């Protein structure tokens, strides 16, 4: 996690962006630029390297760290940036908690997922489901997933601000299971996923 308190100039001085990254940044405006820079600083800090590795996107747009065999995933929302790295496919999502999630819930929640959501923590619970599905989408890394049709989260009760759940991605001849972990941080929800080893 990275709490974004720095100015853009600080990141630009420290990151030494590649020409490709500078072109990407030039197309962004406003707060998104700062979030984009912060998540790259976070991954560099996590790597422990002296010289920063650039982000390279594959043909599906999934980021990879230059000269690393680790899988990475990134996310950012307003004042927070988050990243995860691991030897297996991983995904991460961080979201500011907002009431409007109820308006799009029908687009990502399956009936059995919706049935376990209690009214007293409706907004937070929906965010954890959304974050879980975003994290699995990123771990899968190949686009064209329907959040209701291809991404399955084992229904879970939200009794604590931290916890774990299981999920899977099933599409065509692809099938993978994932362990997911979640927690509340201030007014945000964080969810990250790691692909489970094949049985």
Q: Where are the alpha helices (DSSP H) in the chain?
A: 8-15, 19-26, 31-47, 105-108, 111-114, 122-140
Residues 6+ apart with CB under 8 A from 80: 1, 2, 3, 4, 94, 185, 188
* Per-residue pLDDT tens over the stretch 20-34: 899 999 999 999 999
* Mean pLDDT calculated for residue range 4-22: 93
Domain architecture of the chain: domains with CATH: 2-86 (3.90.470.20), 90-195 (3.90.470.20)
Burial class (CB in 10 A: 0-12, 13-18, 19+), 23: exposed
pLDDT at 5 over 60: yes
pLDDT of residue 160: 85
What is the model's pTM?
A: 0.93
Residues 6+ apart with CB under 8 A from 185: 1, 80, 94
* Mean pLDDT calculated for residue range 152-170: 92
- Rounded distance, CA 192 to CA 66, Å? 22
Place of tokens 């308006």: 103
Cα separations in angstroms, 79 against 37, 76, 138: 12, 8, 21
Place of tokens 């820079």: 37
Comparing 180 with 54, which gets the higher pLDDT?
A: 180
For 139-156, give the secondary structure using H, E and C.
Answer: HHCCCCCCCCCCEEECCC
Query: Band of the pLDDT at 198, cuts 50, 70, 90?
Result: low
Tell me the two tokens of residue 24. Answer: 């990407």
């Amino acid at each position: 996690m990275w709490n974004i308190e720095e100015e853009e100039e600080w990141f630009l001085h420290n990151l030494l962006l590649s020409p490709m990254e500078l072109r990407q940044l030039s197309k962004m405006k406003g707060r998104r630029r700062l979030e984009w820079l912060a998540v790259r600083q976070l991954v560099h800090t996590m790597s422990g390297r002296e010289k920063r590795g650039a982000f390279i996107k594959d043909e599906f747009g999934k980021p990879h760290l230059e000269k690393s065999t680790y899988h990475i995933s990134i996310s950012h929302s307003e004042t927070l940036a988050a990243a995860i790295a691991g030897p297996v496919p991983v995904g991460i999502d961080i979201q500011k908690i907002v009431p409007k999630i109820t308006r799009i819930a029908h687009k990502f929640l399956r009936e059995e997922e919706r049935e376990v959501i209690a009214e007293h923590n409706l907004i937070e619970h929906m965010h954890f489901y959304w974050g879980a599905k975003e994290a699995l989408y990123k771990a899968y890394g190949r686009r064209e997933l329907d959040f209701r049709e291809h991404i399955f989260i084992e229904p879970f009760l939200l009794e604590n601000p931290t916890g774990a759940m299981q999920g899977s991605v099933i599409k065509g001849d692809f099938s993978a299971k994932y362990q997911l972990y979640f927690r509340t941080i201030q007014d945000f929800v964080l969810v990250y996923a790691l692909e489970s080893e094949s049985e």
